[in-house]
Structure 1
């Protein structure tokens, strides 16, 4: 039977998809090496992107921080506004949360204008 003829099923499906999207919390981090780490966090998993690489990590229980790990030896640890990315065979990378609402483009300011204003 077509989905349109089953309005309750269609509505339930739409609600389920919307609730999954609502649980994913996107975040951008500025890293100490100048790179940007982007991640979408949910209570159970994270999608992490950095320098053209992409990882899916699973949440593990930690006492003070949120921690996500993969079987490939990649982990990210979150504590307040800090994120630490660890990759097998590479040094740890410290990153700081970037608040999207305060970015120049979110405020309606051209990035070049924001840079010159910051230098004053």
Structure 2
């Protein structure tokens, strides 16, 4: 089997594990004012919404203190199909559907590392979840 055929098979197998729907957004840097309420909000665009998964990469949890408050930072990885994006460091990732684990819906992570690889079966990114 040549590398192209092996990658195609590997990508199909990886995609079968993407049972969650993730949404990755990004601020445009602009603000918008609601014409009815007058509320000013940051303009955000959806960079990607589709299949993906987030999984633990090991027991990497930190509990730093900042301003007298303690919070937990969990390191995980995001897997999405090859060719979607591009994503940037600090892009937020939200789980918008998770049929096999509904309690994950609404969880938000932040991309904090871009993992590059020549013969990848999926795009993988380091992400972190910060909880108070």
Q: TM-score range by the shorter chain?
A: under 0.3
- Which structure: greater strand fraction? 2
- Which structure: greater helix fraction? 1
Q: Structure 2-normalised TM-score? A: 0.24
Q: Structure 1-normalised TM-score? A: 0.25
Higher CA-based Rg? 1
Higher RCO, Cα 8 Å, sep 6+:
2
